Each structure stands twice: as structure tokens, then as C-alpha cells.
Amino acid sequence: MTLPDTLIDVEALAALPRGACLIVDCRHDLADADAGRRAFERAHLPGAVHAHVDRDLSDLSKTGLGRHPLPDAEVFATTLARWGWQPGLPVVAYDAMGGALAAARLWWMMRVLDQPAAVLDGGFQAWVAAGFPLESHAVAPSLAPVVALRWPVDRVLYVEQVLQQRARSEALLLDARATPRYRGDVEPLDSKAGHVPGARNRPFAYNLGDDGRFKPADDLREEWLDLLEGRDPATVVHMCGSGVTACHNLLAMEHAGLPGSRLFAPSWSGWISDPERPVATGPAVG
């Protein structure tokens, strides 16, 4: 079954027969790592499985790669098999933060592996507001075979590649954090405040309207084209605090018909893991 490859609305998801896609609850709270799991146990979309950002969408055993290091592809493949996923089965991810924590992260992980995936526009709140049913019990999915997966090296960047591209002025580095964090006015999560020198700021919240849903694709396209100033979307590298909310900007660009941008996976928390790396504060320059 063909699903949209960026966003799906609650009515379209509710109309699908059960089993037509794998629904994944990605709710997360940065201040309380287990809040998402507790929320899932209280109520979730029918048939959904739960993805824990720290344990399923990251590998916290890795050092120097930020607060949410990308798991090895073979480890992620094991997680997918535990959820009952098989190649070609569409994934629909949702959360309670407009896709930012952490539905867009799972969406990006699937799409970069060339697998069908979409984010539920408006998330858990939109489903509830529409009056669709919820479940409070978790059904163990049937285990599926583990499939060999590999992250494409041209879509996932680490510090070395970012340094090289900054030196050659080949990439537009965009930071998805809120502007006060980008400027270095506040820093609630990481050990240093500020941003990577040369990075510009595009808070992920700019992608959403007042109703918590993504802005219309045409509106997003106009905003992003203004920001790109004639650059090829493939030159854009997204970052945030740890490589999670940056995926929201990746999703927004894809939804706007501007594919090909990449992720700086370690992001700010990975950048500052080496105290010798430069740090900028204040507004963007240039």
C-alpha cells in the first residue's frame, strides 16, 4: 500500500486497515526519559509499538558522538524486527511535539534507508481531537526476520566531514534549536552554550502552524527557498542539540519538495565533546 512519504493526516491513517502500516509511538520528554513510555502505556493509537529515543533510536554507549548517537544499522535492524517490521511495510511515526520528539527522527531513519515512512501530522493530539479510538494495552508484535541495513555514508555526516565542508564553504549548516540556545543565551542540556561557527539558525518550530500541524507545503517551500538563497538543497546540512529535532527540518524540506539535505548526526553536543573545537555565540554573522 502506498502512503505519503512525508506527512499523513489522522483521517487518512484512521481509514487504513489494521496491519497496513507499522504505527510507532515516539513520544519523548527530554526532562524525563521515561515519560514517553508511561504515556504510551496509558494510551496510544491502536496497534502501535513504542520507540524509546535513548534505547531504540540511539546508542548511548557511543562516546564523542553527542547525546543521541545514531545506532549502528544492524542494531537498528534488530529493533525493527522486534517491532515486527518487514521491508516495504510503511512506518507511520507520531509524537506529542509536532513531530520533533521524536517522530521525525524515526521518519528520517527509515527514509534514509529507502523505506516508506510518514509522520502523523498533528501527532497524538490531533488523533485525540478527532475522536479516534485509543488503546491502553500493548500487544506484542510478531517478531520478523532481521534484515541487513546500512546507513548511506553520503546522507549522514560526522565532525570530520563537517570540518572539511566548512573549510571549502561547500555546505549551509542549519541549526534547528530555538534561537536563545543557538545564540548561547541559555543552555539547559549541554555543557557549553552557543553554536558551530558559520552555522545559521532555523528553529524547527518555524515549520509548524498555530494548530501544531505542519504549514502547507507551498508556504514551507517559499520560506525555505528564501533561506537557501539559490543554493541546491543537497548542500544543506541540518543539526540541532543531538541530531533529533534536526530531522524536523529535514522532514519540512522534503515536504516542501526540496529533497536531498543531510544530517550532522552528532550535532552540537557532539561538536563540543572536543574542547578544542571553536564555539560562536550571538546572532549569525554573514
Give me the count of residues in the chain: 286
Domains of the chain by start residue, with CATH: 7-129 (3.40.250.10), 156-271 (3.40.250.10)
- Per-residue pLDDT reduced to its tens digit, 183-241: 999 999 999 999 999 999 999 999 999 999 999 999 999 999 999 999 999 999 999 99
**Which residues, in sequence order, are bridge partners of residue 117?**
91
What pLDDT, on the 0 to 100 scale, is given for residue 1? 58
pLDDT in tens, 138-152: 778 888 999 999 999
Does 286 score more than 70 pLDDT?
Answer: no
pLDDT at 142: 83
Active site residue 247: no
The whole-number average pLDDT for the span 5-10 is 97
The predicted-structure confidence for 239-266, as pLDDT tens digits, reads as follows: 999 999 999 999 999 999 999 999 999 9
Q: Which helix (H) or strand (E) holds 11?
A: helix 10-15
Find all residues with CB under 8 Å of 281, minimum gap 6, and list them.
183, 184, 193, 194, 195
CB atoms closer than 10 angstroms to residue 173? 20
Percent of the chain with pLDDT over 70: 99
Q: Does residue 19 or residue 169 have the better pLDDT?
A: 19
pTM over 0.85: yes
Catalytic residue among 21, 26, 240, 247: 240
Separation of alpha carbons 25 and 156, rounded Å: 24
pLDDT for residue 168: 82
Residues 6+ apart with CB under 8 A from 62: 69
